[in-house]
Amino acid sequence: LSAVSPDLEGKMEDLEFTNALSYDFDDRDVHPEKELLLYESGLQFMTGSSAQLISSQVLTQAATRCSLIRAVYEIICEADTYKELSEQAVEKGTLADVMVGGVNQNDTWCVRLRQFGSASADSPSAVRYGKSKRSPLRLEREAISLMDPLFSRMGGRVKLEDPDCKLNIFEGMIGKQKILAQTIASGIKTSVIRPASRICITNTPLCNVAAFCMGNIAQIQNDQTVLDPFAGSCTTLLAAAMLAPGCKTVGIELAPNYTVNRDDIRRDFSSRQLTQPVALIEGDSTCEKIRTEARAAVGGGSFDVIIADPPYGIRERKDAQEPPPLVKLVSIIARDYDTGTPLLAKNGRLVAFVP
């Protein structure tokens, strides 16, 4: 959130995320605790008075940057029955804009049923709906039919793929009977830069999800300059270009072109319509000349963000007397600062992946 709206930094102390699901099946004891935790934390409620400070626009922007969020839903109402759910939704007027006579009455829409928890009486097989299987279409149709007082008022046509208004009926969540919620944002699709999908493929590419997480920790913005001193196939810079298309990126990589092909890297950017790096430099980032070349690529100034996945292979471990690459990098940043040619700007951010 603070990456999208810096004004929110330090103001989210009471913001809480609590699990919305509980694995209440008879076979709970046979599953590892880690698997149960993943299931139960897969959907969460966001609560707290500070949530009122977060506008829908900021929440949407934050979600579309996050590699760990699939979707964000805004709860419209909750009730014990489908009929009550539809009546409450009409009474609240939250969806008035997409109903007949509303300003967005021609917007396309769809509604899907998502069931979680133990099987209901008419589903004795105890299928874990919502985990690996969709709720049966029969039950979805029945729910929609019972909520006709709401859906008959919708102005636009139904569109299942990428509608303007996507509604969800949730059942089986902790402390709730039935919830009507609207999808307001979806998380960023990190898979578009997964290593196996790229033209430039190296032996030890950084995980695409990790690259997005690092970019968000660094709070990369459109007007910033970003350096990866151990760029490899540039997973970090691809993620940066997706998070902030207006940022200027530079990559330094020691490996020669026949090992890490810079033209292939640039094709990985262009094939995804992403902003190209301003420079891909072959050389050692510990070399002063190479760092000077990197600064020159962004106008001679310092970098707002340095984001790095230093090598941790056998070659880097065989000499016990030699400091690790990340330690070298930090020492170089300090030395450049002392000499008046800072590599990292004042108040800049250094984010590194340490396995």
Per-residue pLDDT at 128: 47
Rg of the chain over all Cα atoms, to the nearest angstrom: 25
Q: Is the pLDDT of residue 30 over 90?
A: no
More confident: 254 or 123: 254
Per-residue pLDDT at 84: 95
- Per-residue pLDDT averaged across 245-273, rounded? 96
Rounded mean pLDDT of the chain? 88
Strand stretches in the chain, DSSP E: 16-19, 44-47, 71-79, 109-115, 165-171, 178-186, 225-228, 248-253, 279-282, 303-308, 344-352
Per-residue pLDDT at 303: 98
Do β-strands 225-228 and 248-253 pair in parallel, antiparallel, or remain unpaired? parallel
Q: Which residues contact 347 (CB under 8 A, 6 or more apart)?
A: none
Q: Is the pLDDT of residue 215 over 70?
A: yes
Q: Is the pLDDT of residue 10 over 80?
A: no
At residue 318 the predicted structure's pLDDT band, cuts being 50, 70 and 90, is low
Judge whether 46 and 15 are in contact, CB under 8 Å: yes
- Per-residue pLDDT averaged across 309-317, rounded? 67
At residue 48 the predicted structure's pLDDT band, cuts being 50, 70 and 90, is confident
Geometric angle at alpha carbon 341, from 338 and 347, rounded to 5°: 80
pTM, 2 dp: 0.79
- Per-residue pLDDT averaged across 303-307, rounded? 98
Q: Is the pLDDT of residue 107 over 90?
A: yes
3 state DSSP class of 128 = coil
At residue 153 the predicted structure's pLDDT band, cuts being 50, 70 and 90, is very high
Per-residue pLDDT at 130: 47
The least confident of 75-84, 120-129, 253-262, 275-284 is 120-129
Question: Could you report the per-residue pLDDT of 115-135, keeping only the tens digit for each?
Answer: 886 544 444 444 444 444 566
